[in-house]
Copies of this chain bind each other. A is one copy, B any other.
Amino acid sequence: MLSPAAGLSRRGLLGLLGAGAAGLAAGAVGGAVATVAVGGARGDTASGGVHAFYGDHQAGITTAVQDHLHFAAFDMADSATRDDLITLLQDWSYAASRMTQGLDVSASGAIGGSPQAPPDDTGEALGLPASSLTVTFGFGPTLFEREGADRFGIAAQRPSLLTPLPRFLGDDLDPLRSGGDLCVQACADDPQVAVHAIRNLSRIAFGRARIRWSQLGFGRTSKTSAAQATPRNLFGFKDGTANILESDREGLDSFVWAAAADGAPWLAGGSFLVARRIRQTIETWDRLRLAEQERTIGRGKGEGEPLSGGSEFTAPDFAATDEAGAPRIDPHSHVGIVHPDAHDGMRILRRGYNFVDGNDGLGALEAGLFFLSYQRSPEQFIQLQRAMSTDLLSEYLRHVGSGVWAVPPGASAGSYVGAGLFG
């Protein structure tokens, strides 16, 4: 549509392309977009799962969990201004609206524009479909205020619920894997597509923000089974059996979506994201007797049924006892500790991914769960995490990274994520 002039800065280019973005957005509203005719299209967008970027909520929260994750936390540059933050969010939203449709990051594309300029798009996803990509943005406590400084003129709009998480028993957090002014969660069914999204957003941020830390993860990727079975974590157990599904509107409104009445009207329809990098001591776990593994979780390993009986989706019966009168589900088992029944029905929406990052210096796999949960208030996570101090499972977990972010509602067509904060 637009031909970038040689030498034009990325930022100027993306600003220029605002008009194109708005036109594109109009096509994207109201469902999947398969046939938007713009320059720089890559692959056959119809074939690869397309999620709308614009809408009431950001995609990537209730979206069916994709196979691969690339999560990145960013810090704003010390020199960045309020205008830099606004234009960064505009440029990111525009780029995300394109990439989630299987398009290159800008209309000039990976090989368009001039041979005498660097391509806008880095190119490694050329020819790949959208692959169900979602890109979800969040704002950390330090974006609103850092060491008493209101760098971007938004301190007054910080949600009162958005504060650094308290220290939990057993925390062993690496500051270089924790926090961040901004976060971006890219999920896709192809790791190269998720990586491409983070890389290009990082490139767009150049001079305004840079990656503080990032994490890749994978879920259960087999597409050969017809049924979408509950994935297994690296302890070999099914994980996520009792999650909040997209169809559960009441559950989402109660436990996931922030409301205007919660105190920060600009966040209504958004949520709070908690990320925890949890090392699992898998070699120790693997040496446990099966019975001890199952007692620790509170479920059978094969089918995932609660130890009180039934099948995977049977509700646990915490009152059930064995012949000796002992509870069939240990009250300190993981399910006993975190089940909604133990928390007056309170729930969170989990989107965790397994990770394996090579091995540590002792020959143990550097493996675990990159825990991601969305909730209406970080207090929900805090309550569960505090309860886990007496969870039998905690002996096999090490929390080594952590962060919390306010996740704005979705952007309306032609606008950008977080616009409500700057209105």
Name the distance in Å between A234's Cβ and chain B's nearest Cβ: 5
Check if A356 sits within 8 Å of B129, measured CB to CB.
no
Check if B222 sits within 8 Å of A48, measured CB to CB.
yes
In the complex, chain B residues whose CB is within 8 Å of the CB of A176: 361
Of A146-154, A161-169, A287-295, the one with at least 4 CB within 8 A of chain B: A287-295
In the complex, A356 Cα to B195 Cα: how many Å?
A: 8
> How many A residues are at the interface, by size bracket?
35 or more
In the complex, A381 Cα to B313 Cα: how many Å?
A: 55
In the complex, chain B residues whose CB is within 8 Å of the CB of A361: 176
Check if B190 sits within 8 Å of A222, measured CB to CB.
yes
In the complex, chain B residues whose CB is within 8 Å of the CB of A189: 221-222
Q: How many identical chains are in the complex?
A: 2
Check if A225 sits within 8 Å of B129, measured CB to CB.
yes
Verify if A191 is at the interface (C-beta below 8 Å from B). yes
Name the distance in Å between A39's Cβ and chain B's nearest Cβ: 13
Check if A128 sits within 8 Å of B301, measured CB to CB.
no
Check if A358 sits within 8 Å of B215, measured CB to CB.
yes
**Cβ-neighbour of A358 out of B192, B202, B289, B357 (below 8 A):** B357
Check if A47 sits within 8 Å of B225, measured CB to CB.
yes
Of A116-124, A249-257, A414-422, the one with at least 4 CB within 8 A of chain B: A116-124
Of A106-114, A337-345, A385-393, the one with at least 4 CB within 8 A of chain B: A106-114
Mask: chain A, 114-149; 1 = CB below 8 Å from B; 0 = not:
111111011111111101000000000000000000
In the complex, chain B residues whose CB is within 8 Å of the CB of A357: 216, 357-358
> A116-B289, A123-B232, A216-B357 known; 18 other A-B pairs, CB under 8 Å?
A44-B224, A44-B225, A48-B224, A110-B302, A115-B294, A116-B290, A119-B293, A123-B235, A123-B301, A124-B234, A129-B224, A191-B356, A192-B218, A192-B221, A199-B282, A211-B364, A211-B365, A215-B358
